[in-house]
Amino acid sequence: MTWSEYQDYLLSLSKTQPAVRFGDKDSPIVLSPVDAALAKFREESILVQIGVAKDKAQSKNRFLAAGDDRFVEGAVVIKPTIMFDAVDHIRFVERVRRFFKLKKKTRPTDPRARERMGRVIGTRLMRKVFARDWPMLLSQAEEHGLFRKVHATTLKAPEMGFLSRIYQLTGQRIDAAVLQANCLRHAGSYSTVLAYSNLHINWGLPQKLLTAPGQEAFTTAPRTHQELGNCHGRH
């Protein structure tokens, strides 16, 4: 869900979010004040993920009956988006669910629901694209997840400026692996870090062109164009 939707949800529970925390509730990446963090990372580009595919904290859920107080709900993971805003990501997820025929009425709801859904959404239909564009990474894509690898590599890229913006807000420098581990919510094992470190992205574009423009850009550009046209007409 989007940041604003998550805030509405918290208000419905009489809760507040005193800071923007990238990762889950235990993450050390805490950005405050909220207004400054939302301006620096753009509120519309902050995504709130409810639940993760592999969560050790939920491993005992399959042994619990419905309504058991010991049931562990899905983790809330907050992260910055890469090139598209949160609404676009949500639309994409909805399209993937429609493609694989995952509906609320038919989706698995038992304690192993996420595990079963992971088997439904696979890469078999995309193998031809992988083989054509990323032949060297195809085997690793199945083992480590190519899209997670691209996401992790992008998070640490200087061109995207995530690490520098965190420093500007907190005055503290964090290692790229810390940002990767918390946004992707993995254990950060040595093998995982190595698996993510062998991908290089040649951006070819400056940072300001790699992120979606803010709403002000859509209002400023037409006004600037009109002013330039008026100047041209006077000369």
Domain ranges of the chain: 3-228
Residue 142 has a pLDDT of: 58
Residue 100 above 60 pLDDT?
yes
> Which candidate, 155, 133, 154, 143, places its Cα nearest to that of 195?
143
Residue 163 has a pLDDT of: 95
pLDDT band at 177 (very low <50, low <70, confident <90, very high): confident
Residue 189 has a pLDDT of: 60
What does the alpha-carbon distance between residue 44 and residue 88 come to, in Å, rounded to a whole number?
Answer: 10
Is the separation of the CB atoms in 160 and 207 below 8 Å? yes
Structure-model confidence comparison of residues 27 and 119, the more confident one:
27
Residue 44 has a pLDDT of: 94
Q: Can you give the length of the chain in residues?
A: 235
> Which candidate, 94, 113, 2, places its Cα nearest to that of 51?
113
pLDDT band at 22 (very low <50, low <70, confident <90, very high): very high
What does the alpha-carbon distance between residue 37 and residue 17 come to, in Å, rounded to a whole number?
Answer: 12
What does the alpha-carbon distance between residue 99 and residue 125 come to, in Å, rounded to a whole number?
Answer: 11
Mean pLDDT computed over every residue of the chain: 78
Q: How far is CA 58 from CA 50, 120, 222, in A?
A: 13, 20, 51
Q: Which of 8-12, 82-86, 142-146, 226-230 has the lowest mean pLDDT?
A: 226-230
**pTM strictly above 0.85:** no
Is the separation of the CB atoms in 176 and 225 below 8 Å? no
29 membership: H or E segment, kind and range: strand 29-31
